[in-house]
Amino acid sequence: MVANYLHPGIYIEEIPGTRSIQGASTSVAAFVGVVENGPPDTPTLITSWNAFTRQFGSLIWYGFTSWAVYEFFQEGGTSCYVVRVKDAGTGKAATASVGSSKFKAASLGIWGNSLQVCISNNTVVTNSGGGAPPPTPVFNLQVVVDAGVIDGTGGGTPNLPTQLLTAYVRQNGITSTLINNKNYYVLEAFNGFTDAGLTFTQRINTQSMFIRVASSDGKRPPNTQTPTTLSGGAAANWDLGSGLNTLKTVQALSLLAMPDTVTITDSNGNTDAVKQGQAINQGLLLCQDLASLFYAADPPYNQNVQEIIAFKTGTLTGSQAINSSYGALYYPWAWIFNPLSNSNVPIPPSGPSLGRYAYTDGSIGVWKSPAGVNDGAMRTVVALMAQLTDADQDSLNPNGINTLRNLINYGNVIYGARTVSQDTQWTYVSVRRLFIFVEQSLKNSLQWVVFEPNDQALWSAVTRDVDAFLTTLWNQGALFGATPQEAFFVTCDASNNPPETRMLGQLYIDIGLAPVYPAEFVIIRITQKTAGPDSGS
């Protein structure tokens, strides 16, 4: 606005200063998958684990998104979006009734058909007349599984649900218990109830991983002579694609995880690695299209080194290779401690991995690899599914598979920093994420340039702003070079904006960056020093 100076006096004018370029968010994650409650296909901002439980429910077995979000906050994450996906099929949760109380598995699927519920007296009551002892005012509830299911006495190859339950029993050292002359493994025990009212329902529904109280009239359920089996569970067909598409409208996202790709199975519950790979590629494609997301992918359960390499390289029959600079693959699975059940639980690695991403971004910057004995230290991971050796990593690392390893004196750490890309320009996670950060920062902060006169004044202003932003990054250690001129260049002038491009309404800003690469291979070279004639003097 041009001021009109009509009378003598002092006039104040505000002159626009340099427009600073604000760094884009780098550590806000999106978790797309299976949770207990909440609106479907609705990205919801969550800033703490308590906020998650209020909106989406508690930790549930065979719903790995809840565990991933839990670990994300445990390992350093501060905010994320959660998208609850819908069942596109006819999935059902297994159910059972004991008296007037109805129980159901905590998530959909055939896995719940292996569960059984046992109601018993809180104290041992003898009954000299034989038969079942009379119920006492105080009772216990146990979630059990037939020992034959775990011990494999039924024959055949166990499916994924059985493998996970077996791993849980073995890892936690659960011994079999004799109930009515038959062996069972007690997965969970809840003691000291006087009725099946509100306290009973709340305690089971917030603390159990395996079951929920679907309904109850508050009356004490009768004792079970033998455990009551849950039945009717049917596999779900989780619509991860629709959940992914909802992220296109969410701003400030930078990380992605879909932990429930690991539960994609055939109708018999057997792992379908081909379809799991297809789902991962769907997530990678979204990241590439948006150019703002980076995906931490999970491996199928219980694969050995050769199998996970085949999974990644696409050498499985009918599978596709996993190849993109916008994602990383972590291996193997991890065990974390569940304080509600006082037990260790198996989870895919994306949750704790993204927690370390967020921690590293906050403490150093997006240009630092979220790996190693410091930034890659997973403090809440108690064990790993497989103990990998240097020889194993010799095969995994060149194929872009980042390992989780247990190192002496350091514990469980992320010990890989590579993307799944075959393009050597984008070998490292930190390099790809640095470029995403710079690109999104410039995109967000240079919106003011649109529709401005495309002339020397604009070119100078843009060059000045971008140069200041990149100089700050160089000072922080994000770019390589002894001087800013060695670390980057910015060109926005007549050389790259000739008349013909200006007539088309186009403005070109050419930027070159020299990223800092991680010191992935540290070679310590030692030689013998030959002592001279005066070495002893």
Q: What is the pLDDT of residues 43-92, one digit of tens each?
A: 999 999 999 999 999 999 999 999 999 999 999 999 999 999 999 999 99
Q: Is residue 18 part of a domain?
A: no
Q: Are 69 and 261 in contact (CB under 8 A)?
A: no
Question: Are both 134 and 68 inside the same structural domain?
Answer: no
DSSP-assigned letters across all residues of 99-124: TTEEEEESSSSGGGGGEEEEEEESS-
Report how many domains make up the chain.
3
Residue 493 CA to its chain's centroid (Å):
44
DSSP 226: S
Rounded distance, CA 243 to CA 86, Å? 8
Three-state SS annotation for 337-353:
EECCCCEEEEECCHHHH
Tell me the two tokens of residue 24.
């884009």
Q: Is residue 454 part of a domain?
A: no
42 φ/ψ angles, rounded to the nearest 5 degrees: -135, 100
Q: Is residue 99 part of a domain?
A: yes
Question: Are both 214 and 276 inside the same structural domain?
Answer: no
User: How far from 503 is each of 454, 492, 507, CA to CA, in Å?
Assistant: 10, 16, 10
Q: Are 402 and 328 in contact (CB under 8 A)?
A: yes
Which pTM does this prediction carry?
0.93
Rounded distance, CA 432 to CA 404, Å? 21
pLDDT at 537: 47
Q: What is the pLDDT of residues 277-318, one digit of tens each?
A: 999 999 999 999 999 999 999 999 999 999 999 999 999 888
> Parallel, antiparallel, or unpaired for β 334-338 and 381-384?
antiparallel
CB atoms within 10 A of CB 4: 7
DSSP-assigned letters across all residues of 396-433: HGGGTEEEEEEETTTEEEE---B-S-S-GGG-BHHHHH
Strands (E), 50-149: 80-84, 95-98, 101-105, 115-121, 139-146
Q: Is residue 70 part of a domain?
A: yes
User: How far from 39 is each of 44, 55, 86, CA to CA, in Å?
Assistant: 9, 9, 9
Tell me the two tokens of residue 419.
């993307």
Rounded distance, CA 300 to CA 275, Å? 10
Tell me the two tokens of residue 44.
């919801």
Q: What phi-psi label fits residue 38: left (phi over 0), alpha (psi between -120 and 50 degrees) or beta?
A: left
Give the torsion sign (CA, 424, 428, 433, 435): negative
Q: Which of 430, 448, 476 is the last residue of a domain?
A: 430
Please count the CA atoms within 13 angstroms of the CA of 254 that sit on its side-chain side: 26
Residue 161 CA to its chain's centroid (Å):
20
Q: Is residue 457 part of a domain?
A: no
DSSP 20: P
Rounded distance, CA 307 to CA 305, Å? 5
Rounded distance, CA 327 to CA 130, Å? 64
Q: Are 350 and 66 in contact (CB under 8 A)?
A: no
Q: Are 92 and 234 in contact (CB under 8 A)?
A: yes
> Parallel, antiparallel, or unpaired for β 411-414 and 401-407?
antiparallel
Question: Are both 201 and 263 inside the same structural domain?
Answer: no
Give the CATH number of the domain where residue 244 resides. Answer: 3.40.50.11780
pLDDT at 122: 85
Rounded distance, CA 304 to CA 298, Å? 14
pLDDT at 536: 53
Task: Give the residue from 255, 290, 301, 331 showing the smallest Cα distance to 72.
Answer: 255
> Parallel, antiparallel, or unpaired for β 80-84 and 44-46?
antiparallel
Question: Are both 412 and 504 inside the same structural domain?
Answer: no
Question: Are both 380 and 284 inside the same structural domain?
Answer: yes
Rounded distance, CA 133 to CA 478, Å? 72
Q: Which of 229, 262, 296 is the last residue of a domain?
A: 229
Q: Is residue 395 part of a domain?
A: yes
Q: What is the mean pLDDT of the chain?
A: 93
Question: Are both 109 and 36 inside the same structural domain?
Answer: no
* 406: helix, strand or coil: strand
Question: Are both 245 and 109 inside the same structural domain?
Answer: no
Task: Give the residue from 397, 428, 434 showing the smallest Cα distance to 513.
Answer: 434
pLDDT at 13: 79
Question: Are both 312 and 191 inside the same structural domain?
Answer: no
pLDDT tens track of the chain, all 537 residues?
A: 556 788 888 888 776 666 788 888 899 999 999 999 999 999 999 999 999 999 999 999 999 999 999 999 999 999 999 999 999 999 999 999 999 999 999 999 999 999 999 999 987 655 555 556 688 999 999 999 999 999 987 667 899 999 999 999 999 999 999 998 899 999 999 999 999 999 999 999 999 999 999 999 999 999 998 999 999 999 999 999 999 999 999 998 999 999 999 999 988 899 999 999 999 999 999 999 999 999 999 999 999 999 999 999 999 888 899 999 999 999 999 999 998 899 999 999 999 999 999 999 999 999 999 999 999 999 999 999 999 999 999 999 999 999 999 999 999 999 999 999 999 999 999 999 999 999 999 999 999 999 999 999 999 999 999 999 999 999 999 999 999 999 999 999 999 999 999 999 999 999 999 999 987 677 777 778 877 666 554
What residue numbers bound the domain in which 527 lies? 463-531
Strand partners, 337: 344
Rounded distance, CA 253 to CA 28, Å? 5
Question: Are both 267 and 407 inside the same structural domain?
Answer: yes
Task: Give the residue from 146, 173, 185, 156 showing the smallest Cα distance to 342.
Answer: 173
Q: Is residue 455 part of a domain?
A: no
pLDDT at 126: 53
Q: In the chain, how long is the greatest CA-to-CA distance?
A: 114
Which residue has tokens 């003011």?
Answer: 448
Q: Is residue 77 part of a domain?
A: yes
* 411: helix, strand or coil: strand
Rounded distance, CA 424 to CA 517, Å? 12
Tell me the two tokens of residue 19.
């427009």
Question: Are both 471 and 521 inside the same structural domain?
Answer: yes
Q: Which of 379, 412, 430 is the last residue of a domain?
A: 430
Question: Are both 476 and 350 inside the same structural domain?
Answer: no
Question: Are both 268 and 416 inside the same structural domain?
Answer: yes
